[in-house]
Amino acid sequence: MRSLSLLLVLIALFGQVSSQKAFHSRRLGTEGQIVGRILSEYDPSSRPPVRDHADNSAILVITNIFINRLIWQNNYAEVDLYLRQQWQDSRLKYDVDTREGIDEIRLPQNRKIWEPDTYFTSGKELTGNDKGSKHIVVEPSGYVRSSERKVLELPYTYGTMFPFTNSRQFTIKLGSYQYDIDDIVYLWANSPPLVNPIEVSQDLLRGDLTFEEASAGDCVGNYTVGVYSCIDAHVYFSASTLSGLMSWFLPSLFLLIGSWLHFWIHGSWSVPRTISAAVPFFILAAYYIFMREDSYTQAQGAWLGFCLVLTFFSFVEYFLVICCGGRRSIRYKTLSGQEEHPMGAAKETVEVAYDQGCSSFRNNNGIDVISRVAFPIVTVIFLVIYFIFIV
């Protein structure tokens, strides 16, 4: 009995799968017939006709952008996005039986229709129309929805409001290459919260540098041959200063301060002085040698370069103290005669003196004294200039 029930279930599942495959095949056949019918006399080189009862002759193109991925380079951002456009083309209207369950048809890659000649004026396009990167859907009313993947190289501005937030901003500006404002008008799709002019992936909402906001508007391109419709959007990304300080600023500052510790250590103590002077310099030098140029921004590179130079001078100061450093002299006093101590007369230390040489300022290490004051003052001055003019 149980085997019979299992057999009936398998037969029912097989019948359901077969019916779904048949329905899918029948739908594909119907969509193919519709595509062939609406494109039989279609001219993709001509602009769609003016809508009935329209106030002007321009085609309205509703646009929004989905940013999928970002790669921050030294002076520009590599933006991987999807350009989504919608417009009306009455030549693509078609009738379909409601029982077919077809609300829209997807245009095959080898079939062409008229599309807006949209191009980005604010950056360089890195990729063209790759295979599978464009999808076009046509509704029964002739309403067309297009989605196309683009990879752009956009310059950005980098700034900070220390110590609150670090921010980066780039501008996406697009318009028509051939059609003027009497033929095509661009508008941002704006129906929050479902549809916004600029949308981003979940990956850009978390991490060190996250999406903050986008400001979309209109711009008009005035050229010698006419006036063209144009829209733009300013996209902002921000990160807390604390994350930046913890990742690169504070470690490099600690290395810089660590290279000063030997200023307070006597010149005769060679091992701790060597560690303090050499280790920070070689760590920063290795970072500069092995890290790529696009691993840090221009402002970060300026700070790390300053740290490298100052630790180098601290290293030089270490050798100067060795060359001019002190020499220790000890004077002994014999306690008893030679006959009482066959192995040699016992001696007692009476005086220990340090001859500082050219580094002596009243029995103190003069070069170290100067360095204790000069290095912190130079660092403070550079930090003031850095946060005012460089960052």
CATH number at 377 reads 1.20.58.390
Identity of the highest mean pLDDT range in 4-8, 15-19, 219-223, 314-318: 314-318
**What percentage of the chain reaches a pLDDT higher than 70?**
72
CATH number assigned to the domain comprising residue 91? 2.70.170.10
The more confidently predicted of residues 305 and 350 is: 305
Shared domain for 67 and 179, answered yes or no, is yes
- Around 102, how many Cα atoms within 13 Å sit in the side-chain half-sphere? 26
- Around 111, how many Cα atoms within 13 Å sit in the side-chain half-sphere? 20
What pLDDT was estimated at residue 5? Answer: 60
Give the span between the Cα atoms of 184 and 106, in whole angstroms: 24
> Taking the model in full, what pTM does it have?
0.62
**138, pLDDT greater than 80:** yes
* Boundary residue ending a domain (220, 239, 258): 239
What pLDDT was estimated at residue 181? Answer: 87
Judge contact between 48 and 86, C-beta under 8 A: no
* pLDDT band at residue 255 under the 50/70/90 scheme: very high
The more confidently predicted of residues 322 and 165 is: 322
Burial category of 200 from C-beta neighbours within 10 Å (exposed 0-12, middle 13-18, buried 19 and up): buried
What pLDDT was estimated at residue 259? Answer: 93
Is residue 288 one of the residues assigned to a domain?
yes
* pLDDT band at residue 133 under the 50/70/90 scheme: confident
For residue 367, the enclosing domain spans 243-333+350-390
* pLDDT band at residue 25 under the 50/70/90 scheme: very low
Is residue 35 one of the residues assigned to a domain?
no
Shared domain for 229 and 145, answered yes or no, is yes
Average pLDDT over residues 143-170: 81
What pLDDT was estimated at residue 72? Answer: 87
Q: How many CB atoms lie within 10 A of CB 323?
A: 10
| Total number of domains in the chain | 2
Give the span between the Cα atoms of 118 and 85, in whole angstroms: 10
